[in-house]
Amino acid sequence: MNVEICVGRQQEGLFVEWQITHYSVLDSTNLEAKRMIQQQMIVQSKPTLHGTVLVAETQIDGKGRLNRQWVSQPGTGLWFTVILKPNLPIAQASLYSFVVAVSVAEAIRELYDLAVTLKWPNDVLLHGKKLCGILLELVSCTPSVYYLVVGIGVNVNQMLMEFPQELQEKASSIAIALGKTVDSMQLLSVILERLEENCSLFETQGFAPIRSKWKKQNCVIGQEVSVQIQGQTEYIGIVDDLAMDGTLVVRTADSIRTVVAGDVSLRTKEGNYTF
């Protein structure tokens, strides 16, 4: 199952040595990462997992938020998980969602010059369709020590008809946008570079520079959205801002609300709300 261990990367001035393992098939890269962490907690003498990267050719049980299915067909996308052991207090862990989304967007812009945008909290979209989903999970080792399990799924080389029918309206891939297939390992390498830089930026200068990068690329501020919590539409409003704690500030007809968890759907020209 586990076919090879490749590249450990270390550059002058940067602090992560990525240990990348390729798998032909996994239930889910996040599940495998969590199993590795559990194992490490049992055998205390094992080395740190910070910087471990698990890449799967396919996932048979890939998941998004709220246990939603993440479609990860063989060989078409970049399905991977990064394990990080942050130095910041656990209260700031959820802000890594933005660090990761910004890093993926920067890598895609840099390599392919595609005008990707960010939807709260951490979807990467292209022309309003989802190109990448991110699932951030936290595993506590002790009350103050924790790992972040960062699942990233990028649609790379799928053609439209390869997506299941129900996703064809709302998903896109880099190959669809460029009209040609690309090297997903090159994409992985640039995402990891940007992630390394942005983690360092966040950990040394706080959330402000990440927030500013996220705001420059976002597609929700100033837009009308419907806010759903556990699948139910709660209210409709205009997005005002991304707050310093990562919550979304939404102005409704009679109040200012903050979205801590949930989904926001953008209003389309036709007056519907997209995913």
State the Rg of the chain over Cα.
18
Q: Give me the sign of the Cα torsion angle 86, 87, 92, 96.
A: negative
CA end-to-end span of the chain = 35
Residue with Cβ nearer ligand ADP (73 or 200): 73
Contact letters for ligand ADP, residues 129-158 (x by CB under 6 A): -x--x-x-----------------x-x---
DSSP label of 121: T
At closest approach, how far in Å is the CB of 171 from ligand ADP? 3
29: left (phi over 0), alpha (psi -120 to 50) or beta: alpha
Give the interface segment with ligand ADP, choosing from 26-34, 65-73, 106-114, 239-247 (CB under 6 A): 65-73
- At position 183, the amino acid (one-letter code) is D
Q: Does 265 bind ligand ADP (CB under 6 A)?
A: no
> Taking the CB of residue 18, how many other CB atoms lie within 10 A of it?
21
Q: Which is nearer to ligand ADP, 71 or 116 (CB)?
A: 71
Q: Please, which residues have CB within 8 angstroms of residue 232's CB and are 6 or more apart in sequence?
A: none
- CB nearer to ligand ADP: give 137 or 197: 137
Cβ proximity to ligand ADP, 200 vs 217, nearer residue: 217
Per rule CB under 6 A, count of chain residues that contact ligand ADP: 16
Work out whether strand 146-155 and strand 129-140 pair parallel, antiparallel, or are unpaired.
antiparallel
**Shortest Å distance, C-beta 13 to ligand ADP:** 33
Indicate whether 216 belongs to the interface with ligand ADP (CB under 6 A): no
Angstrom distances, CA of residue 157 to CA of 143, 144, 173, 185:
41, 40, 6, 12
* Residues from 234 through 263 that contact ligand ADP (CB under 6 A): 263
Q: How far is CA 162 from the centre of its chain?
A: 22
Q: Which residue is nearest to ligand ADP (CB)?
A: 64
Question: Is the distance from CB of 250 to CB of 227 less than 8 angstroms?
Answer: yes
CB of 268 to ligand ADP, least distance (A): 16
Rounded CA gap, 22 and 137, in Å? 21
Told to check if 219 binds ligand ADP by CB under 6 A, we report no
Minimum CB separation from ligand ADP for residue 55, in Å? Answer: 16
Interface contacts to ligand ADP, rule CB under 6 A: 64-65, 68-71, 123, 130, 133, 135, 153, 155, 167, 171, 263, 275
